[in-house]
Each structure stands twice: as structure tokens, then as C-alpha cells.
A and B are shown apart, each in its own frame.
Chain A
Amino acid sequence: MNWKLVFQIAVTHLFTKKRQSLVAMLGVTFGISMFIIMISFMTGVNQFLEDMAMDNTPHVRLYKPIEIHDRKIIAESNKDAKNWFVVTHQKPKNELPRIKNGFRIMQQIEAMPEVLGVAPQVATQVFFNNGPVQIPGNIAGVDVKKQAALFGLDKKMDFGDVYDLMKGSDVVIMGKGLAAKMGVKLGSRISITTPSGNNLSLKVVGIFSFGIATYDESRCYATIPTVQKILQKDPSYVTDLNIKLHDINNAVPFRLKLESIYKEVYFEDWEKANAGILAGDKIRNILTAVVCATLLTVAGFGIYNIMNMNIINKMKDIAILKATGFQGRDITGIFLMQSLMIGIAGGILGIGIGFFFSYLLSITPFPEATFFRIKTFPVNFLPIHYIAGLLFGFITTLFAGYFPSRRAAKIDPVQIIRG
């Protein structure tokens, strides 16, 4: 097969039908550029949401839940008896959500090689008193330096400085939504009621926002001693250990390892805690794939149609080429090459335009960032997307061009020439 000759004929065909070739090419261009924009934006959103959620989500959380154990003391003390023991309305034991030897466990875990750091936390539910209205929420006592280093608390501050927490006692920083609800400004004093019924007055020295409603509308942070004081507990009282690992993907095996060492406490890994976000990721990925496949299929059908028309217009030429000795595969080559040239040119233009619009989107200010901590639209620029775009364009046009080209090769010259 004479590739050079086939190529020359294909190019001549393309350039004499400039408008038609251009329309076919723009179909591919549109499909690919939309693909690039969609996938860049969608993966950007996924990345952003994941980062936002992961920033203050521990990879593994260690805590002590208060729950009813399915174990009955009366049954355990009568193991030999072949009786059933039915206990109705069983109540939990009067336990505290305290982790026994919490700070010692923290030191042990911190010494493990997989661990980036462990932040201890004393969390409690409280009521925020806004005049006669009580707003339910919670206060977390944290090690300020560790919380800043591991969970970036210092970067979430809208007003005030997180380190001011360490400068005084009875001071808190408050979530943006909660502060708005209470009409609290920097330096205001608030009154809270603890679960055991004590009333306390605290000073607000900072306002933070994570961009996550559950935190911003119900949470305050203070130092561990402050919260221990609120709860009237001793300095060894700790309720949660929030663990960050070097490798986030190691969370599940690491949790299993910890579970085998510490039997008395419970662990939760981030995948379980963020099942909703992961499901959202999946749905967005499926959506992107469906939209992109649709766009490329439509572009493919466009090429298929144009190539079919092209071949019907060129019946006579095909007949004469075959009469003068061109073989079926030469004819297939001529038309397939046209299709591929349309695909490649359209694909290159498409990723160019896709990049351009992705870039524009990435510098477009996000509308009135009241909630998300974000200035512009989140857009990813990954080379793999651009390679995939080109490849999709190539494959789509290969398929769209193949069937009409096969048809062209099967044209019977006698029928055309005899009319």
C-alpha cells in the first residue's frame, strides 16, 4: 500500500472541502474541549471538597463511646444454667467518655513510625445562652500548637489569632455561623451551660470558619485545661485522640493494627467518617464520565455522518480509482486517514481551547464566598486529562471513520460507472 499517495489524496480531499472538514473538526474540538473543561473542573471540585474535609478530619480517631453493651451480668454469672435471661430497658453504666491513660496512649501512638502526629481533645456538649434562647453546640479543648500543625486551625481564622487561646484562661474561639447566630464579635463574652448544669462565662478571642456547616454553626475551641475546668475534671481527662498519618491510604490497616493493641477504646478511620464525601466523589466522577462520553459520541456521530456524505459525494471518484487499479484497502486508507486527520486536528484544537477555558475558570472569582473558604473556582490541570482527551478524539474518529470507509471500499465501480 502506497501510504504517501493515499495521504496525498486524503489531504487533497480535505482541503478542497474546507468548510465540511472544518465543521467535522469543530465537532471534535467542541467535544474534547468540553471534556477537558468538565473533567478539570469536576476533579478540581472533588479535590477541593476532599481537602476541605480532610483538613480537619483525623485519619484515625480514637474515642470511648458511651453505649449499651450487649452483655448481661446476670447471664455471665450463670454460665452453666441453660436459661434465657431477658433484661428489658437496659441502661448504660455511669461511665465517662474518658480514655483511660489517654496521654500515655498518645505518646505510644506518636512514637509509631506511620504517625505524623496525635492531637488530644476534650470535647463536650454545651448550651450557648443567647438571652433566653439556648443554642446547642459543643466545645473542644485542644492542644493549640498540635491542632494548628496537624489540622491547620491557624489557617481557618477569620478574626483573631488562634494562639491567643494560650494567653488567657476562659477564652474560646467560635465558629463563624455560631457567632453570627449569637451576634458575637471579637472580645464579646458569652455564657454557656454545661451538661451538668453549671453556668460559665467565656470570652471570644477569635472567629474561625471551616466552610463546613456542622463545625461552623455549633463549635468552639478552647485549650484543654479550659475545657477540663468547665467540666470540673482532672488534668488527665481526655476524650479523643485525633491521629494524622504520613500516608492517608494507610488509614484502614493502621486502624486495624491499633485495634489489635488497644482493646479498651474504639477507633474510626476517615473513610468511614466521610462516607458521604466519598459517595459524592463517585457520583461526580460518574456524571463527568457520562457527560464526556455523550459529547464524544455526538461528535463521533457528526464525523460518521459527514464521512458518509463525503463518500456518497465521492462515489464516482471511488469508482474511477478502483477502475484504474486502486484496491479496497487503498480506498479505506484514503477515507480513514481523512477521518483521523479531522480527529487529530480537532483534538489538538480541543485541548487548546479546553485549557484556555479551564484557565479562565480557574481565575474566575467564586461568587460571594460566604461559606466556602475559596477565592476562585477550583480547577485541576493534570496532563493525563489532556492525553486522555487526545486519545478519545483519536479513537472516536477512528471508529466513526472506519465504517463509512469500509463501505467506500466495497463500492462496486461497475454500478457507478454504468449509472
Chain B
Amino acid sequence: MSTTVLRAQNIIKYFTEPEKFQVLKGVEFEVMKGEFLSIIGKSGCGKSTLLYILSTMDTDYEGLLDIRGERLTGKTQNELAAFRNEHLGFVFQFHYLLPEFSALRNVMLPALKLGKYAPQEIEERAMDKLRLVDMHSFALKFASKLSGGQQQRVAIARALINDPDVIMCDEPTGNLDKANSQKVYEIFRRLTRENGQTIIAVTHDPDFANGCDRIIEMEDGKIVNASHTK
């Protein structure tokens, strides 16, 4: 019994710079709860553009987007920010931690923003998340002092802090070596299996993609192939 957590209907997107150009030409798909989904395709096929529309950060598109049964198309930036804060997690290719803050503090920030728990409790939860990605021994190190793989794992812990339903990843292993990529993959795998969280990852890494539940292949702004692995 699986329920739909994300539904995209007829997503169309134009770039106006340098000249008008249609990037997405009516993308339609659904994602189930607890699914581990990869979006692959050549550079310029529109997969990252699609991810940022799904992530609610890009609002300049046509079509409809629902997450958790909530219609997100047409909401204001502030409403979307609050929604992201509570229900979405992000992992980016270039880690993007705040360099002035410790690893622990970086993980805590979205939770402090949400303000659902007391700071003391948030700290404990953040430690739990760091333990999950095996970074708890670096908790008090400043983000700028961590290696790429370590930063990426802290970023994953941060994405998890508010127990989001959907975690969006843009090339999560793009900058990592084999061993670190494997670690990241295993963390994601566990999240989907054990916590029922959904992962949508844009990737170029064939090994990573092949380990997913489903691969959506895009070409020229359209989905050309959607196949379940194994």
C-alpha cells in the first residue's frame, strides 16, 4: 500500500535569457511515499530545472505541483519557504554549509527556524542525525574545516533535521570519491527503507542511479523513459 507524495502535472518552463527557449515541455509524473527516485539525462535536458521547480524554489513555470496532497502552485514565496522548512530537505552538489557555524549548528538552523522543539531538544536531535551519517565526532568543528565528503554528510543531516517527507538532491555524489559516494548512497537507502522518506535525486552517476527504485530518464525537456530497476 503506497500513497502518492508528489504529483507533477504538465510542467512547462521557459528560459527567457539569452533568448526564449522552452526547457520543459510538459513533464508529468508521480512519486510514491518511501520511493528512491533518480532523474537522469544528458546535460541541458532540463532535469535540474525540473528539480528546482519540484523543490518550490523556482516558481516561474506552468503546470501544477502537489506535495503531500497540498497544491503548491500559486503560493507566495513566504508560504513556500515555510513549507520547505517543514516538509522538504535539500542536498546540493556543492555542500553549501554556512562556514561560520559548527557542523552541529548548521544542522540545527532549520529546526531552530521551525521552532517546533526547544533548543535543547533540537540539539539532541541534531546529534542523532549526525550520528546517522556518522559525523557526530565532528559536531563542534566548523563547517569550513571539514572535507568535501564530511560536509556532504553534514548537509544530509541538515536535510533530515525536520523529518521531511521528501528529500531533494542535486548531484549528491557529484563531487565525491567512490567511498564517500557509497556512504551517501547507503544513508539514502536506509532513509527510504526505514523511515519511509522519499528521495528524488538528479544524478549523472550510473552506479548511484542503478541502486534506486526507479529511474526517470529525460531528454530535451521530456520524460523519455521511466523504468523500475531490478
A325 touches B113 (CB 8 A): yes
Minimum Cβ distance to chain B for residue A8 (Å): 8
Contacts of A329 in B (CB 8 A): 78
A12-B100, A12-B101 known; A324+B112 contact, CB < 8 A: no
Contacts of A322 in B (CB 8 A): 57, 81
**B window 137-194: CB within 8 A of A:** 158, 170
A319-B96, A413-B57 known; A328+B78 contact, CB < 8 A: yes
**A window 1-31: CB within 8 A of B:** 2, 5, 9, 12-13, 16
Stretch at the interface among B19-27, B31-39, B84-92: B84-92
A325 touches B77 (CB 8 A): no
A327 within 8 A of partner (CB): yes
A418 touches B100 (CB 8 A): no
Contacts of B110 in A (CB 8 A): 324-325
Q: Return the contact of A325 from the options B84, B92, B96 (Cβ within 8 A).
A: B84
Question: How many Å lie between the Cα of A323 and that of B110 in the bound state?
Answer: 10
Minimum Cβ distance to chain B for residue A322 (Å): 7
B77 touches A327 (CB 8 A): yes
Number of inter-chain CB pairs below 8 Å: 71
**Minimal Cβ-Cβ distance residue in A for B88:** A325
Question: How many Å lie between the Cα of A5 and that of B48 in the bound state?
Answer: 31
B55 within 8 A of partner (CB): yes
Question: How many Å lie between the Cα of A330 and that of B99 in the bound state?
Answer: 19
Contacts of A412 in B (CB 8 A): 57
Contacts of A418 in B (CB 8 A): 48, 52
Contacts of B226 in A (CB 8 A): none
Contacts of A326 in B (CB 8 A): 81, 85, 113
Question: How many Å lie between the Cα of A2 and that of B108 in the bound state?
Answer: 14
**A window 279-321: CB within 8 A of B:** 316-317, 319-321
Contacts of B77 in A (CB 8 A): 327-328
The interface on chain B, measured as residues whose beta carbon lies within 8 A of the other chain's beta carbons, has a size of: 30
Question: How many Å lie between the Cα of A324 and that of B156 in the bound state?
Answer: 12
B100 touches A13 (CB 8 A): yes
**Minimal Cβ-Cβ distance residue in B for A419:** B94
**Minimal Cβ-Cβ distance residue in B for A323:** B90
Contacts of A327 in B (CB 8 A): 77-78, 81-82
**Minimal Cβ-Cβ distance residue in B for A12:** B100
Q: Return the contact of A324 from the options B100, B113, B115 (Cβ within 8 A).
A: B113
A325 touches B78 (CB 8 A): no
B57 touches A323 (CB 8 A): yes
Contacts of A2 in B (CB 8 A): 112-113, 115
Contacts of A320 in B (CB 8 A): 92, 96-98
Contacts of A324 in B (CB 8 A): 84-85, 90, 109-110, 113, 158
Question: How many Å lie between the Cα of A29 and that of B130 in the bound state?
Answer: 44
A417 within 8 A of partner (CB): yes
Question: How many Å lie between the Cα of A5 and that of B114 in the bound state?
Answer: 10
**Minimal Cβ-Cβ distance residue in B for A16:** B100
B58 within 8 A of partner (CB): yes
Residues 315-356 of chain A: 1 if any B CB is under 8 Å from the residue's CB, otherwise 0? 011011111111111100000000000000000000000000
Minimum Cβ distance to chain A for residue B185 (Å): 22
Contacts of B113 in A (CB 8 A): 2, 5, 324-326, 330
Question: How many Å lie between the Cα of A417 and that of B49 in the bound state?
Answer: 11
The 27 sampled A-B contact pairs (Cβ below 8 Å) are: A2-B113, A5-B112, A16-B100, A316-B96, A317-B98, A317-B99, A320-B97, A321-B98, A321-B109, A323-B84, A323-B92, A324-B84, A324-B90, A325-B81, A325-B82, A325-B113, A325-B114, A326-B113, A327-B77, A327-B82, A328-B78, A330-B113, A414-B52, A417-B52, A417-B57, A417-B94, A418-B48
A interface residues (Cβ-Cβ under 8 A, vs B): 2, 5, 9, 12-13, 16, 316-317, 319-330, 412-414, 417-419
B interface residues (Cβ-Cβ under 8 A, vs A): 48, 52, 55, 57-58, 77-78, 81-86, 90, 92, 94, 96-101, 109-110, 112-115, 158, 170
Q: A317-B99, A319-B96, A417-B92 are in contact. List 5 more A-B contacts (CB 8 A).
A: A13-B100, A16-B100, A324-B85, A327-B81, A414-B57
The 5 A-B residue pairs with the shortest CB-CB distance, nearest first, are: A325-B85, A16-B100, A324-B110, A327-B81, A320-B96
